[in-house]
Amino acid sequence: MITTKLSIAEAQYFLPLTAPAAPVEKAYQELVSKTGKGNDFLGWLDLPETVSTDLIAEINSTAKSLAATAEVIVVVGIGGSYLGARAVIEALQHPFKALLPHNKTPLVLFAGNSMGEDYHKGLMDLLDIKDYAVIVISKSGTTTEPAIAFRILKEHCEKKYGKLEAQKRIVAITDEKKGALKKLATEENYRTFVIPDDVGGRYSVLTPVGLLPIACAGFNIEKLIAGAKKMRNHLLQHPHLSENIAMQYAHTRFLLYKEDKKLELVVAYEPQLFFFIEWFKQLFGESDGKAGKGIFPAGAVFSTDLHSLGQYIQEGERHLFETVLSVEKVASHLPIPFDHNDLDGLNYLQQKSMHEINLTAEEGTRLAHLAGEVPNIRIVIPEISEEILGELIYFFEFSCALGGYLLNINPFDQPGVEAYKSNMFRLLGKK
Interface ranges with ligand PA5 (CB under 6 A): 78-81, 138-140, 143, 146, 200-202, 286, 414
Cβ closer to ligand PA5: 10 or 286? 286
Q: How far is the CB of 315 from ligand PA5 (least distance, A)?
A: 35
Q: What angle do CA 317, 321, 324 make, to 5 degrees?
A: 135
In the residue annotation, 421 being an active-site residue is answered as yes
Q: How far is the CB of 232 from ligand PA5 (least distance, A)?
A: 20
Task: Encode 128-145: b = buried (16+ Cβ within 10 Å), e = exposed.
Answer: eeeebbbbbbbbbbebeb
For ligand PA5, the closer CB: 210 or 375 = 210
CB of 43 to ligand PA5, least distance (A): 13
Q: How far is the CB of 133 from ligand PA5 (least distance, A)?
A: 20
Smallest distance, ligand PA5 to C-beta of residue 286, A: 5
Name the catalytic one among 264, 286, 322, 386.
286
Which residue, 108 or 320, is less far from ligand PA5 as judged by CB?
A: 108
Minimum gap (Å) between residue 282 Cβ and ligand PA5: 6
> What gap in Å lies between CA 251 and CA 255, rounded to an integer?
6
Reply yes or no on whether 386 is catalytic. Answer: no
Q: Which residue is nearest to ligand PA5 (CB)?
A: 201
Are 265 and 310 spatial neighbours (Cβ–Cβ below 8 Å)? Answer: no
Three state DSSP letters for the chain: CCEEECCHHHHHCCCCCCCCCHHHHHHHHHHHCCCCCCHHHCHHHHHHHHCCHHHHHHHHHHHHHHHHHCCEEEEECCHHHCHHHHHHHHHHCCCCHHHCCCCCCCEEEEECCCCCHHHHHHHHHHHHHCCEEEEEEECCCCCHHHHHHHHHHHHHHHHHHCHHHHHHHEEEEECCCCCHHHHHHHHHCCEEEECCCCCCHHHCCCCHHHHHHHHHCCCCHHHHHHHHHHHHHHHHHCCCHHHCHHHHHHHHHHHHHHCCCCEEEEEECCHHHHHHHHHHHHHHHHHHCCCCCCCEEEEEECCHHHHCCHHHHHHCCCCEEEEEEEEEECCCCCECCCCCCCCCCCHHHCCCEHHHHHHHHHHHHHHHHHHCCCCEEEEEEEECCHHHHHHHHHHHHHHHHHHHHHCCCCCCCCHHHHHHHHHHHHHHCCC
Q: Which is nearer to ligand PA5, 90 or 397 (CB)?
A: 397
Contacts of residue 136, Cβ cutoff 8 Å, sequence gap at least 6 = 76, 77, 112, 146, 150, 153, 170, 171, 172, 173, 174, 181
Closer to ligand PA5 by CB, 228 or 309: give it: 228
121 belongs to the catalytic site: no
Measured from the CB atom, is 29 or 186 closer to ligand PA5? 186
CB nearer to ligand PA5: pick between 141 and 375: 141
In the complex with ligand PA5, the residue whose CB is nearer, 150 or 321, is 150
CB of 247 to ligand PA5, least distance (A): 23
Identify the active-site residue in 307, 333, 340, 431: 307
Minimum gap (Å) between residue 287 Cβ and ligand PA5: 8
Distance between CA atoms of residues 269 and 45, nearest Å: 29
Catalytic residue list: 286, 307, 421
